[in-house]
Amino acid sequence: MDGPEHTTEERPLPTSSLARASRMLSLPLGAAGRQAVGLGRRLLGADSEQVDSEMRAAAAEQLFAVLGELKGGAMKFGQALSMFEAFLPEEVAKPYRQHLAKLQDSAPPLPSSRVQAVLRNELGPRWRERFTSFDLRPAAAASIGQVHRAVLTNGAPVAVKIQYPGADQALRSDLRQIERLASVVAPLAGGVDVVTMSRELAARISEEVDYTLEADNQSRAATAFAGDSEFAVPRVWEATNRLLISDWLDGRRLSSVADAPAIERNRVGLSYVRFLFAGPARAGLLHADPHPGNYLVLPDGRLGVVDFGLVARLPDGLPSAMGRLIRLAIADDADAMATGLADEGFVARDVDARELLGYLEPFVEPARYDEFHFDREWMRAQFLHVRGSSNRDGVAMKLTIPPVYALIHRVWLGGIAVLAQLDVTAGFRGVLAEFLPGWDD
């Protein structure tokens, strides 16, 4: 009945708080050591560019080796960083790319004995009677859980998502440690405020580790998109705090589209960004994890969407000011745009309106054209643009992100980064016009 026992010998995970903290805190210590060695080599006459290149490669090796061995917040944080690889200049990005790719899709699996223990705890000792087959080998692994393929007794193929034992405590511990690592990982994040990102994740922890809340989010989305010709959200069959059973979706990873012809990349990329904006309008939910591992291209061409653990609940849709403010920026009405942003709570200190408009150009430029080409070169240019405004007196230091916009900002940046990784040419402006409230005001 069941799939073969997973007896592959696995490297033990550092699950205790002390062990996990030790692994995480090895990162800043390693960084300090590399800086000292690099300085010494330069003083002895070594080529600076060669030293910098070797230090970046060593940093990548250590950072992603540690993150890749840990589940919970560390793994989730590494996956978030992987989306922003397109931001980085090529000479910086190259040594990280291989490690980033590994983090996007993999994590060490649970032994089959622990999988069965979770199933007994959540479904009872007769859990096997619910399935005609259950593959104990994970089909996918993520930050706080792994997914198994099974078939219910009614014949429905399902995905059974099982939370790692102790994931809630481990996630809290990881996120506390991550806040201490901002100086180490900030150069990888393309100007993204990694401390704010970790705090945001920590604030959502109680929701992400409760699969009944995720099931409610997913059920709302599945109802809203039922029968849709463009999107597929799997129906939920059953959920407990640590287990979620939903329809199985057959498909290939969104990231695989990067090697497809342009017509396919563009079609799928447009569907991807359309879903990000359609969720608030149709389901009152913003899928707040734009990581490409959560999206599948189905055989019939639809875009399948999974993992609704992190969402922003927006029962009235996206904030009504968004469309109006972007239209003002497109029209180069800097004063009105700056006033509107201040009214929404984005401006923490006095800022020059023209400087502010210039700073926001990377966010606005794709909306200026009927079609826009998102690629790595454009993203890296935006990285340099944003970084240049992030010094002590720069415009970026005079802005803040209101709580209601925190996850929206994350999705906007992450979605654009994924489009750039896929090298997509799409009608981004048309998506905004369709879904953003206030666009026609």
For residues 284 and 185, membership in a common domain is answered with no
In a domain, 269, yes or no: yes
Q: Which pair of structure tokens corresponds to residue 342?
A: 């201040």
Looking from the CA of 424 toward its CB, the CA atoms found within 13 Å total 27
CA distance 403 to 408: 10
- Which whole-number Å values give the CA distances from 60 to 53, 91, 197, in the listed order? 11, 13, 20
For residues 362 and 270, membership in a common domain is answered with yes
Place of tokens 């009214």: 343
For residues 221 and 338, membership in a common domain is answered with no
In a domain, 239, yes or no: yes
For residues 321 and 195, membership in a common domain is answered with no
For residues 216 and 278, membership in a common domain is answered with no
In a domain, 30, yes or no: yes
- In three-state secondary structure terms, 233 is coil
For residues 284 and 146, membership in a common domain is answered with no
Cβ–Cβ under 8 Å, residues 405 and 321: no
User: Which pLDDT score is estimated for 8?
Assistant: 33
pTM for the predicted model, two decimal places:
0.74
Q: How many CB atoms lie within 10 A of CB 173?
A: 22
**What phi and psi values does residue 90 have, to the nearest 5 degrees?**
-55, -40
For residues 267 and 317, membership in a common domain is answered with yes
For residues 220 and 342, membership in a common domain is answered with no
Q: How many domains, the chain?
A: 3
For residues 310 and 437, membership in a common domain is answered with yes
**Alpha-carbon 413 to chain mean position:** 10
For residues 326 and 427, membership in a common domain is answered with yes
Q: Which pair of structure tokens corresponds to residue 404?
A: 């209601």
For residues 58 and 176, membership in a common domain is answered with yes
User: Which pLDDT score is estimated for 199?
Assistant: 61
Q: Which of 218, 241, 203, 191 is nearest to 417 (CA)?
A: 191
CA distance 434 to 230: 15
For residues 146 and 285, membership in a common domain is answered with no
261 is in which domain, residue-wise? 252-441
In a domain, 3, yes or no: no
The rounded average pLDDT for each run of 10 residues, N- to C-terminus, in the chain (441 residues) is 36 42 42 42 50 54 52 52 49 49 56 93 96 95 84 98 79 59 50 53 64 96 98 98 96 94 97 97 93 93 94 92 95 95 87 90 90 91 72 74 82 88 95 93 71
In a domain, 355, yes or no: yes
